[in-house]
């Protein structure tokens, strides 16, 4: 630790919020802050006075050789009174300008602090009692409400709910307790198998519920399996919590079915079809916007005319065979006027108008969700940085190729590649430069492969190539890869030079077991590295 100078000491003690003095080696106070003057009862500053007038035991304390220490003693006030204090010492500076900094703490204040602590504890206890009383009053209020209601804290944990709420969701009633997270209740409801609503994608359903729950104001309607309708009315409170109301609007919905306004203003694409012919007899504005046809044009079609090729007949059979309302379970492919394909879910309700039987269709465009799922599937099998197949995809393709080769007598080559000199690039230029380099390596490897060959990134700076080739063909590809990566790479206006070492294993020479084949290629790679790098080695045939 570096010694402080006297100037350092004065500067440090000058900003300490406690009573502080700085004493010279001769025992004279050279500095005292305002708090020290106040605790000593001094009318003027204490500087240039002997410290023994303030601390009678100074002659004993100053002989302690420790660099810093703490002691309790008596402080003599200017009015003749003495008070107990705790002194914290620290020595500053070299021998020639040695000083002792002293922080003085009035021990009498400890009693006042203890009294304050006890008073705060009493006040906290009273506040807790008041809070509990307020909670009971709130519980009594929500129990009086005619709707199902629940209250959440800022962490989305249950605080209160009424009996109507528990009765509405019997599958989670036994699990409700103060403090349980909303997400956990949703998961319990799903696992119970008695969820009152239809859920086709549990994970999406949970995330959508949580997203709506997080909104400042969220209002939506929900159809249950038994045909009832609920309105969810959730609002965030100023403290970050939330209050949720669940209102049974089944009767209202049934009455609204007869009103054209509901149909026309519905933001979901809707249409009415004849149950026998499937002719479209009515559409709302949202459906016209979705399909891109004019109102007159779409009324000249059947619902099956909107289907993608191959699905029209299947949809027609399903629609004509309905004997009850149909929840959407199948994702259908439909075409718009511009030829764009949409992925949709179709909800069907049967309407009886005298002797006529109609179908009320509600169309949910789930194209974004389908694309997101396809993208997620792609990411699960491809390296996010380079876009190459990842280790899992490579293993899957290798197993399939080995199975075919074992059955048909074909030949396979597996190349295990490891970059030479990649780590120094990361260490000197940073990981961003390393990522750019890996992308360029991936592009060069793809450029030297033949059609049908597969290159994958296994992780880090390791790559693998799978090809249907003889030993000679495998050797040729290895040489092309080595030559391609010897050329400098341009990164951040600099030319970076690396190379690659390659180990090759062959099937059937090294067997048809994927693990053994990869192990043989890895061993060959190690031999290539040991022989000077920037080269390749082929594994010996299995005995």
Residue 448 has pLDDT above 50, yes or no: yes
Q: Give the residue from 369, 398, 421 where a domain finishes.
A: 369
**So what's the pLDDT on residue 458?**
92
Contacts (Cβ under 8 Å, ≥6 apart) of 395: 514
* CATH code, domain with 333: 3.30.450.20
Residues in the chain: 543
Is residue 132 assigned to a domain?
A: no
- Pick from 222, 253, 284: which residue ends a domain? 253
Question: 68 and 177: one domain?
Answer: no
Helix (H) or strand (E) holding 362: strand 356-365
Between 71-75, 161-165, 213-217, 220-224, the lowest mean confidence (pLDDT) is in: 220-224
The one-character DSSP state at 249 is -
- The pLDDT confidence band at residue 228, using thresholds 50, 70 and 90, is confident
- The 10s digit of each residue's pLDDT in 58-101 is 888 777 777 777 888 898 988 888 888 888 888 876 665 678 88
Whose CA is closest to 396, among 423, 422, 377?
A: 377
Instruction: Give Cα separations from 90 to 33, 68, 275, 447, 497 (angstroms).
Output: 16, 4, 94, 71, 58
Residue 132 makes CB contacts below 8 A (sequence gap 6+) with: none
The residues near 176 (Cβ < 8 Å, ≥ 6 apart) are: 158, 161, 166, 185
Whether the CB-CB separation of 98 and 122 falls below 8 Å is answered with: no
Per-residue model confidence (pLDDT) at position 15: 63
Mean pLDDT (whole number) for 450-471: 91
Domain end, chosen from 203, 237, 253, is at 253
Determine if the peptide bond prior to 508 is cis (ω within 30°). Answer: yes
Q: Do residues 194 and 275 share a domain? A: no
User: Quick one: pLDDT band at residue 388, thresholds 50, 70, 90?
Assistant: very high
* Domain-embedded: residue 139: no
Looking at the fold, whether 221 and 340 belong to one and the same domain comes out as: no
- Which helix (H) or strand (E) covers residue 122, if one does? helix 108-144
Q: Is the pLDDT of residue 423 over 60?
A: yes
Rounded CA-CA distance 350/16 in Å is 81
Indicate whether 179 belongs to any domain. yes
How far, in Å, CA of 295 to CA of 224, rounded? Answer: 32
Domain region containing 532: 382-538
Residues 223, 229 contacting (CB under 8 angstroms): yes
Q: How many CA atoms lie within 13 A of 519 on its CB side?
A: 8
User: Does 528 share its domain with 388?
Assistant: yes
**What integer is the mean pLDDT of 407-435?**
90
Beta-carbon count within 10 A of 235 CB: 14
Same domain assignment for residues 194 and 295: no
**Do 267 and 364 lie in a common domain?**
yes
CATH code where residue 508 lies: 3.30.70.270
Domain check: are 22 and 158 in the same one?
no
- pLDDT tens, residue by residue, 256-279: 666 666 777 788 888 888 888 889
Q: How distant, in Å, are the alpha carbons of 33, 91, 113 from that of 17?
A: 9, 19, 17
Output the DSSP codes for 43-58: SS--TTSBGGGT-TTH
Query: What's the confidence (pLDDT) of residue 12?
Result: 57
30 Cβ contact list (under 8 Å, min separation 6): 6, 10, 22, 23, 24, 47, 48, 99
Q: Is 17 part of any domain? A: yes
* Tens-place pLDDT, residues 26-47: 889 888 888 888 888 887 778 8
69: β partners = 89
Higher pLDDT, 215 or 319: 215
Task: Provide the sign of the torsion angle of the four alpha carbons 176, 177, 181, 187, taken in this order.
Answer: negative
485: alpha, beta or left? (left if phi > 0; alpha if psi -120 to 50): alpha
Tally of domains in the chain: 4
Percent of the chain with pLDDT over 70: 92
CA 109 vs CA 31, 104, 120: distances in Å: 24, 12, 16
Same domain? 306 vs 284: yes
Do 189 and 86 fall within a single domain? Answer: no
Dihedral angle, C-alpha 443, 445, 448, 452, nearest 10 °: -100
User: Cα separations (Å) of 481 from 459, 471, 477?
Assistant: 18, 15, 6
Q: Residue 324 — pLDDT band, cuts 50, 70, 90?
A: confident
Residues 403 and 318 in one domain: no
Residues 151 and 21 in one domain: no
Residues marked active site are found at 461
- Please enumerate, as own/partner, the contacts of 275-282 that have beta carbons within 8 Å and a separation of 24 or more: 275/319, 275/320, 275/322, 275/350, 275/357, 275/358, 275/359, 276/320, 276/357, 277/302, 278/302, 278/303, 278/304, 278/316, 278/319, 278/320, 278/359, 281/358
Mean pLDDT, the chain, whole residue set: 85
Q: What is the mean pLDDT of residues 479-493?
A: 91
């Amino acid at each position: 630790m570096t010694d402080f100078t006297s100037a350092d000491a004065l500067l440090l003690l000058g900003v300490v919020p406690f009573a502080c003095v700085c004493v010279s080696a001769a025992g004279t106070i050279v500095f005292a802050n305002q708090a020290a003057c106040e605790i000593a009862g001094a009318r003027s500053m204490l500087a240039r006075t002997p410290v023994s007038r303030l601390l009678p035991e100074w002659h004993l304390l100053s002989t302690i050789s420790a660099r810093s220490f703490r002691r309790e003693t008596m402080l003599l006030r200017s009015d003749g009174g003495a008070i107990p204090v705790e002194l914290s010492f620290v020595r500053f500076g070299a021998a020639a300008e040695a000083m002792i900094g002293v922080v003085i703490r009035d021990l009498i204040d400890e009693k006042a602090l203890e009294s304050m602590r006890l008073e705060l504890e009493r006040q906290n206890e009273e506040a807790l009692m008041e809070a509990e009383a307020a909670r009971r009053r709130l519980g009594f209020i929500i129990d009086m409400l005619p709707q199902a209601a629940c209250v959440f804290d800022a962490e989305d944990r249950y605080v209160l709910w009424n009996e109507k709420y528990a009765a509405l969701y019997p599958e989670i009633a036994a699990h409700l307790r103060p403090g349980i997270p909303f997400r956990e209740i949703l998961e319990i409801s799903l696992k119970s198998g008695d969820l009152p609503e239809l859920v086709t994608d549990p994970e999406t359903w949970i995330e959508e519920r949580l997203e709506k729950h997080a909104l400042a104001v969220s209002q939506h309607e929900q159809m249950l399996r038994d045909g009832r309708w609920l309105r969810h009315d959730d609002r965030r409170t100023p403290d970050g919590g939330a209050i949720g109301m669940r209102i049974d609007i089944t009767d209202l919905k049934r009455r609204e079915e007869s009103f054209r306004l509901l149909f026309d203003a519905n933001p979901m694409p809707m249409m009415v079809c004849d149950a026998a012919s499937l002719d479209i007899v009515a559409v709302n504005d949202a459906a016209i916007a979705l399909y891109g046809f004019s109102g007159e044009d779409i009324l000249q079609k059947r619902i099956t005319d909107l289907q993608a090729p191959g699905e029209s007949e299947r949809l027609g059979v399903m629609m004509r065979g309905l004997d009850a309302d149909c929840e959407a379970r199948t994702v259908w492919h439909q075409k718009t006027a511009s030829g764009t394909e949409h992925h949709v879910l179709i909800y069907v309700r049967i309407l009886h108008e005298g002797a006529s039987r109609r179908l009320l269709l509600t169309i949910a465009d789930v194209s974004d969700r389908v694309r997101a799922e396809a993208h997620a599937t792609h990411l699960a099998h491809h390296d996010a940085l380079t876009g190459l197949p990842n280790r899992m995809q490579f293993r899957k393709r290798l197993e399939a190729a080995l199975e075919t080769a074992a059955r048909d007598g074909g030949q396979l080559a597996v190349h295990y590649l490891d970059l030479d000199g990649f780590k120094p690039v990361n260490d000197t230029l940073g990981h961003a430069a390393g990522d750019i380099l890996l992308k360029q390596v991936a592009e060069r490897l793809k450029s030297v492969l033949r059609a049908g060959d597969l290159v994958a990134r296994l992780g880090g700076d390791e790559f693998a190539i799978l090809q249907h080739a003889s030993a000679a063909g495998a050797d040729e590809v290895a040489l092309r890869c080595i030559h391609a990566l010897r050329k400098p790479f341009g990164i951040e206006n600099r030319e970076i030079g690396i190379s690659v070492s390659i180990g090759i294993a062959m099937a059937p020479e090294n067997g048809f077991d994927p693990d053994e084949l990869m192990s043989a290629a890895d061993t060959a790679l190690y031999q290539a590295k040991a022989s000077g790098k920037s080269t390749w080695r082929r594994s010996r045939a299995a005995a």
